[in-house]
Structure 1
């Protein structure tokens, strides 16, 4: 663990002076992808405290959450905010984020977590799959070198987080004697929530900060969310995403092959909604 911490990248590793500003400044979709992600990542401390409370007594899990996961998630938010500051300096990030945080805090409640620790860890695997997919797609959807580097670094962090949550999940799966059906139900429910209230909340508040005259235009915000979702879907790596989603089920290879198609159809439904 110490070696991983020492090797972790820093914001200073990114050379923001290399940003091809003219290439991305007029890209509205890219702005909203980066801005909404920066809001959610910057609010990670709220969610971390919920998880720490939920896993209190399990020192391995709570220590990792407090000393590694939270710090890395907050660094993601800081780096994305720094990128926005360089490309869209006129955007009042602080004001928009305050509005987002006030609403977002209402979604971060312990009672909204899964009913058991093992099932919550399987849900966390889904969330980390979604975030890794999001940042991989962000890296693919632009040729701007600094954003590609930043998004790739964050995606790698999210995969690392997934591995930790999966390792914890395997321990609790044995303790709680979780059957595949219960895990599958949790994975399915959490996958449907990937486009959840917090993501919609982030987009709304980004619009409020960038184009306040459109903030009350529900149809516009829905169209914008649809475009962002289409960008992610077009650039996601379906095979990798499928493997990450299915891993907590620990199915035999033959069964995995059989159910890949229906799960892919399910994913298409999620990302097309």
Structure 2
């Protein structure tokens, strides 16, 4: 059986001709969120290779990363790019992505990974939390049927990816013997990296492509992208985000209750690029 046949869904199952363009065409905030997400997802092959190298010798995890995770992440990128091109055909997606890739490819390096394999898996849980909750929020925001279908598929994929990374995290936690404090620090580091790099780079290259006359105008960049971030922030699934972020800490119930509010603030930072 081919790998494509084993995918939970395929690009061919999305009928982009059915997009109700009138419902989304006017929404620049949604455009910025979808296009920046399509850029990051389309760079999955680079950070997959970084992870495959990082887990040298762990054949089971390497195989899953290269034969499953990478294919699904790249499919997310292709699907989101196809949606953007269908609704906003005047946007030169290939040119924008090439510009994004030139910068992102230089900073997406193995040096960003945690030295400990187990802590890197905890950090991966943070990334998957961010993506799962991003697509859940986008799914809640839109009433356009094709985008609703697409973001539902991607959200389900990301939740499943989270579970897979979490299962391997538990195995490495037993092998490496690190405690909650180190896990918590790894979570904080990855939240800050997401905030400062991936999303900001992607949004900046979407902005530069849309407003070349404003390139380098930080005030206008923050004004335009701030609206999009505000839309996302208002639709964050807080309970889902906090639950997923806390899970690797394996906290007693009373500790988890005490941390829910401050962690909700931390969760917001996943979306404040």
TM over 0.5: yes
Q: 1:7 deviation in Å?
A: 5.0
- The answer on whether the counterparts of 1:124 and 1:165 sit within 8 Å (CA) in structure 2 is yes
Shift of the 10–173 alpha-carbon distance from structure 1 to 2, 3 Å rule, reads same
Shift of the 126–95 alpha-carbon distance from structure 1 to 2, 3 Å rule, reads same
Instruction: List aligned pairs for 1:6-85, cutoff 5 A.
Output: 6=6, 8-85=8-85
| Aligned-CA RMSD value | 1.8
- For residues 31 and 224 of structure 1, the distance between their equivalents in structure 2, rounded to whole angstroms, comes to 11
Of 116-125 and 191-200, deviating more is: 191-200
- For residues 76 and 124 of structure 2, the distance between their equivalents in structure 1, rounded to whole angstroms, comes to 18
What do residues 21-68 of structure 1 show as CA deviations (whole Å, max 9, x unaligned)? 122111111111111011000011010000001001100110000000
Aligned partner of 1:149 in structure 2 is 149
Q: 1:164 deviation in Å?
A: 0.5
Aligned partner of 2:264 in structure 1 is 264
What do residues 167-223 of structure 1 show as CA deviations (whole Å, max 9, x unaligned)? 010000010001011001111221233323121111111122222122222111112
How many corresponding residue pairs?
A: 272
SS at match of 1:194: helix
- For residues 77 and 22 of structure 2, the distance between their equivalents in structure 1, rounded to whole angstroms, comes to 23
Of 5-14 and 35-44, deviating more is: 5-14
Q: Give structure 1 stretches of 5+ with no counterpart.
A: none
Q: 1:254 deviation in Å?
A: 2.2
Q: 1:83 deviation in Å?
A: 0.5
- For residues 187 and 244 of structure 1, the distance between their equivalents in structure 2, rounded to whole angstroms, comes to 11
- For residues 27 and 15 of structure 2, the distance between their equivalents in structure 1, rounded to whole angstroms, comes to 21
Aligned partner of 1:165 in structure 2 is 165
Instruction: List aligned pairs for 1:72-221, cutoff 5 A.
Output: 72-221=72-221
SS at match of 1:118: helix
Q: Give structure 2 stretches of 5+ with no counterpart.
A: none
Q: 1:265 deviation in Å?
A: 3.2
Instruction: List aligned pairs for 1:238-249, cutoff 5 A.
Output: 238-249=238-249
TM-score (normalizing by structure 2): 0.95
